[in-house]
Structure 1
Amino acid sequence: MKDPLTQRLLFLCGLLVAAFIAGSLLSSHFLQASTVGYLLQYVPVLGVLGMAQTLVMLSGGPGIDLSIGATMSLVGLAIAGLFGLGVPLLVACLIGLVIGGVLGAVNAFLVCVMRVPSLMGTLATFFAYSGLALALTGGSPIGGIPEWFGVLSQGRFLGVPIHMWVVFVPLAVGLHVMLSMTRFGAHIYAAGNDERAAFLSGVNVWRLRFTLYCLSGVIAALAAIMTLSWFQAARPDAGEGMELLSVTIAVLGGAHIFGGIGRISGTVLAVLIVTTLQVALQLANISQAWQLAAIGILLIGSVMADNAVGDKLRARARRAAS
């Protein structure tokens, strides 16, 4: 009998194939070669946010980061603002990564130190960061980004956007290795599965979760840099809706909402499914409202599948313990 997580990955592969078939039926333009490049243009930004959300969820708590899209917007504005003040763009991007980590640390402080439930704490920072982004710009984008910076997200190598090669793939591989082959990754799963047992075995659960919220902010800053390169401008609404999509991707990929279960490989497959579905619906000229409804149905189905996998794994753990 296959491991439930392996079954989940096979299910996701089947769902991806089904999404491609549905896309080809919805639009005759879907199977064109140009559609692949268009589809992959969206994958890195959504994908890195989904991976950040997966990390936060895996550590338990339960953990969630609803401010991730607002963090992305605010960091993008900060980078563009620093560049406008004369800071070299690459230096501004490095500072943006630090700012992302600081914004993530605010979430970590609320959740890990003040003991505010992650849903409420990160919802509060979502409103704070979003409001600050609008207040600083009056709702207007900040332009003036040089054309050469667009190579990151608009350039192609072997027909694939460069930010797939230099950001998305290295991050996915790095996080997979971290979770599956390092002590830190083992501690993440231990904290998500049983916080008390992890603490008694020597895992500093507080520090672990604090670190992951900070890392989530840094990854959101990476998404901001890619978006800045793509649009050649910083928009205060660049991350609007991304928080819910990142949750959908994480849960669809197999991250259990209460922690301890999930893989980065599942998150990668999930972002491909969600992106394929979005592009197919756009090419078919289906309204945004129906697109959101489709994503909602997908999320409901993924939660149901997530609960089924979680029940199997917990039952297996109880049998092993007895």
Structure 2
Amino acid sequence: MSFTAAEQAAMRRALELAVTPGVPTGPNPRVGCVLIDDAGRTVAEGYHRGAGTPHAEADALAHAGESARGTTAVVTLEPCNHTGRTGPCAEALVAAGVRRVVFAQSDPNPVAAGGAETLRAAGVDVESGLLRVESGLLNTVWTFAVEHQRPFVTWKFASTLDGRSAAADGTSRWVSSRASRLDTHRLRALCDVMLVGTNTVAVDDPLLTVRDEHDQPIEHQPLRAVMGERDLDPDRRVFNSDAESVHLRTRDPQTALKELYARDRQHVFLEGGPTLAAAFLRAGLVDEIVVYVAPMLLGAGRSAVADLGITTIADAFRPRVTDITVLDGVDGEEPNVRLTLTPERH
């Protein structure tokens, strides 16, 4: 593989374009594209703005017009080769007269893959692998969902130092600090499903929307999913008009994830109670754990997770810590600690 300095600079710019603020999460990956001429000068730029909008290549070509002929297209993901809500990007690049295509990551989606072959068959020079790792980090969740045919699951909970998520009388407002709650909303906004169990809805009546630092709802809301066979009061807040909602009539985590993936959902934020968390852990369907630890002791109360069937220390569930962040206290509150962990795969 041989890449020019101009192509490397263009790929870094394409990576920046791919993460342009305001692009909603959804079924499509984040992609950026830069067209450069033989002298390495930028001719046009583009990026994907969400499902149903032009792909990054089409966006860049639209800006370039006739100037696209003879250029090199530098793209963070292999140009697609299928017709969905938009046409195949590989064919659009050929039609525009693009001379060379450099992309970072191969498309893992079998429906869309094959763009490189289409380009080569049309006489376009194609190279891949430039900043592949960096590009992969843009779409870790999307790639996981495509490869595993199910959404990536992040389990989030707040806990005291002694592992309690609520006091003995059931009160849990607030185990975590305001800084932790604001951080939770930031993470919620990165997902496209908020998932809880029917008991959480019946007892806590959560709203399950994503709100900003002023407690105002953001524009693009995740799907609010409730899992369980129990009938619920339709007046519960989770079923209001603030965001889309669905009741998944199952207790099986695999079935729930299958239904959500069929709805083009890629990232589940699991915020249910200890029973739901235990069900996902026992099924091996938790891919990331985010814990907010508050500097307090309760001594009794609800645990963060229900019985996992573990009877000896040798069988303990031992996720790997990948990040430790201290969240400074606000409004006189003590700092909380956010732990990010990854379950080990066997």
Select the structure with the greater relative contact order (CA < 8 A; seq sep ≥ 6).
1
**Bigger fraction of residues in helix:** 1
Same fold (TM over 0.5): no
Normalising by the residue count of structure 2, what TM-score does the alignment of the two structures yield? Answer: 0.23
Normalising by the residue count of structure 1, what TM-score does the alignment of the two structures yield? Answer: 0.24
Structure showing greater radius of gyration is: 2
**Bigger fraction of residues in strand:** 2
